[in-house]
Chains A and B, each alone.
Chain A
Amino acid sequence: MSEKVILLVEDNPDDVELTRIAFAEAKVANQLVVVSDGAEALDFLFARGKHADRTPDDLPSIVLLDLNLPKIDGREVLQAIRADERTRSLPVVVLTTSTEPFDVEASYALGVNSYIQKPVDFKQFVWAVKQVGLYWLVLNHPREGG
C-alpha cells in the first residue's frame, strides 16, 4: 500500500512553498497534494469534478486547512467534511494566520482536530509544521480503514 497523501488547502503560493520546505526539512515523505480553494478541496475528497477519476476511498492521511479561502471558505469545508459519513473521522488541522479567538472557537465547534497558528518567524513555522507531521503521521494511530 502506498503512503497516503497530505492534502494542503492553501491559496497563498508563498505559504504552499514554505509548507513544502518545512515538510522536506521534517523529512515527511508523504506526497503533498495542494488545492487552492475550498471547492476544489471538497472535489478532491469526494472524488468529483476534476478529481472524478480518483478513488474516493483513498483518503489523505490528514487535511491541512487554511480558513480564509476563495469560493468555499475553510469553515464550510470543515463543516462538509464532518457532515459526510465517508470523511467524518478524517483528521483535519486548521493551519492559519489568524489568532482571532472566535476563529479558534468556531473551528473547534465545527470539529477540527487541531488549530495551529502559522508563526511569522520561519524557524517557528518549520517547527510547527514538523510537530504536525510528527503527531499526525507518526505518533497518531488512525482508526482501521478510516
Chain B
Amino acid sequence: VLVTVRAVFRGTVLHPMLSADRQGQAGGDARFRLAMASSGIGMAIVDLDGRWSEVNPAFERMFGHAAAEVVGQPVAMMTHPDDRAASDDALRGLIGGVLPTLDAEMRYLHRDGHAVWTHVNVAVMRGADGEPACLIAQLRDITAQRAAEAALRDCNAELERINRQRELFAYGVSHDLRAPLRAIDSFAALVAGQYGDRLDDTGRDYLDRIRNAAARMSGLIDSLLELSRADRSELKSEIVDLSLLAEWVGAELQDAEPSRAADIAVQPGLLVRGDERHLKQLLTQLLRNAWTFSRDRDRVRIAVTGERRGDRLQVSVRDEGTGFDMRYAERMFEPFQRLHGPEQGGGHGLGLTIAQRIAQRHGGRVWADSESGVGSVFHVDLPAADDNGRDT
C-alpha cells in the first residue's frame, strides 16, 4: 500500500498541510500519514484512474473492508448502483479539472452489502506542475442523520395529517353541533311563545332552563372554535396598536352592559408586532375576565398599561375586582378549569386558555397576580414594535 501511495506522491508538492514541513517531502508524507491513520473521519486517496490508493482505519470501520481489500479497486465498485453515474461524473470532473471540489451525499456499499449513506468531500491535490496528482476524500457516515431526517419527515407528514383532521373536526363542531342547538332553542322558544299560557310556572321555568342551557352550549362551541382557530390559523405579522384594540374591546363590553358604570383607562401608544384579529381576541378574553370579576364593585375599574423590556412589551391588565387565590394562578390557564361557578360570573373555562395560546403563538405568555378581594393583574408578554414601522 505504501509503495502505491509513494508512487502517487513522489516529487509532488502536495496539500499545504503536507508542504508546510520544510524539512522535506518524507517528513510531510509521514505527518500526513499519521494524521490520516489517527483521524476519526474516513479518509482515502484516490488515484487519477479512479481507484482507491489508500484508505485509513476509520474508512475500514465504516465500510467493513480491510484496506488491502479495496486498495487498487475502482471507486465505482464500492459505490451504490444508484449513485454510480453521479460518482463517475464527479470523479471525471475532478480529475479533468472541471470540478475543484466535490461535496455530496452518496451511498457506498458496506462489505456485507448494505448501503452506507456517506457525506463525501473530495479535493484535488496538484503537483508542482499544477497538474492533478491525486484526489483526497473525506467520508463521514451519515446513516443516523439520514434516518433522523427521514423520521422528521414522517413526523411532519403525520403532523400535517393530524392538523387536517383537526380542521375537519373543528368544521364538524362548527356546523353539526350548532344546528341541533338551534332547533332546541328555537322550538323551546316557540312553545313558550305559542303555548306558554297553557303551562304553569314550573313548565315555563323548564323551558327557560332548556333555552339557557342551549345558549351556554352555544357559547362553549364558539369558544372551542376560537381556541381551535388560535391554535391552527396562520398568524399575520403586522404592527398592531394594542391601545386602540383595548379601547375597542372596552367599548364592546360597555355596549353589552350599558347600565354598568365603568372606567377603562388605556395607556396610549402600545405598539406590538403580531396578528390583529388574534390580539383583539386575547384582549377581549382578559378585559372580559376583568369586567366579569368586578361585578361586586360599584364601578368596574380596568387599567391597561405597557412597559418596554428590550424588544418585548409587557402589557398589564389590572382590575379592582374580587381577585383569585394565587394557588390557582397556573391552573386557570388550562382548559375547562373554573375558579368560579356560573352564578359568580364564571364562564366555560376556555377564555384564559385562548388568551394563553394566542400569547404563546406570539412567542410570549400570560401570567397573573392577584390578591383575593383586592383585584387581579394579568400580564402578557408580546413582541414590541416601534411606530416608525421597523421591528425592534
A83 located at the interface, meaning its Cβ lies under 8 Å from any Cβ of chain B in the complex: no
- Determine the distance from Cα of A119 to Cα of B179 in the docked complex, in whole angstroms: 9
Q: Is the CB of A121 within 8 A of B218?
A: yes
Across the interface, A122 reaches (CB within 8 A) one of B186, B225, B233, namely B186
| A18 / chain B contacts, CB cutoff of 8 Å | 182-183, 186
Q: Is the CB of B189 within 8 A of A12?
A: no
| B181 / chain A contacts, CB cutoff of 8 Å | 120
Q: Is the CB of A100 within 8 A of B174?
A: yes
Summed over the interface, the residue pairs from A and B with CB atoms below 8 Å come to a total of 58
A sample of 20 inter-chain contacts (CB < 8 A) reads A12-B183, A14-B180, A14-B182, A14-B186, A15-B182, A18-B183, A21-B190, A67-B175, A68-B175, A96-B175, A97-B174, A97-B175, A99-B225, A100-B174, A101-B233, A120-B181, A120-B214, A120-B215, A123-B189, A125-B186
Q: Footprint of B on A, CB under 8 Å?
A: 12, 14-15, 18, 21, 67-68, 96-101, 118-123, 125
Across the interface, A97 reaches (CB within 8 A) one of B179, B185, B214, namely B179
Dominant secondary structure of chain B at its interface with chain A: helix
- Determine the distance from Cα of A10 to Cα of B131 in the docked complex, in whole angstroms: 82
- Interface size in chain B (residues, C-beta < 8 A): 23
| B185 / chain A contacts, CB cutoff of 8 Å | 120-122
Instruction: Evaluate whether A120 and B189 lie within 8 angstroms (CB atoms) in the complex, with A18-B183, A98-B171 already known.
Output: no
B170 located at the interface, meaning its Cβ lies under 8 Å from any Cβ of chain A in the complex: yes
- Determine the distance from Cα of A97 to Cα of B179 in the docked complex, in whole angstroms: 6
Q: Is the CB of A14 within 8 A of B179?
A: yes
- Determine the distance from Cα of A51 to Cα of B185 in the docked complex, in whole angstroms: 35
CB proximity to A under 8 Å, residues B163-192: 170-171, 174-176, 178-183, 185-190
- Determine the distance from Cα of A97 to Cα of B178 in the docked complex, in whole angstroms: 7
Across the interface, B189 reaches (CB within 8 A) one of A68, A119, A122, namely A122
Greatest chain A CB density within 10 A among B171, B175, B180, B189 is at: B175
Q: Is the CB of B174 within 8 A of A98?
A: yes
Distance (Å) between the CB of B48 and the closest chain A CB?
62
- Determine the distance from Cα of A12 to Cα of B175 in the docked complex, in whole angstroms: 12
Q: Is the CB of A122 within 8 A of B175?
A: no
- Determine the distance from Cα of A1 to Cα of B180 in the docked complex, in whole angstroms: 39
Greatest chain B CB density within 10 A among A14, A98, A101, A120 is at: A120
Q: Is the CB of B171 within 8 A of A122?
A: no
Complex: chain A residue closest to B186, CB-CB: A122
Instruction: Evaluate whether A118 and B189 lie within 8 angstroms (CB atoms) in the complex, with A68-B175, A98-B171 already known.
Output: no
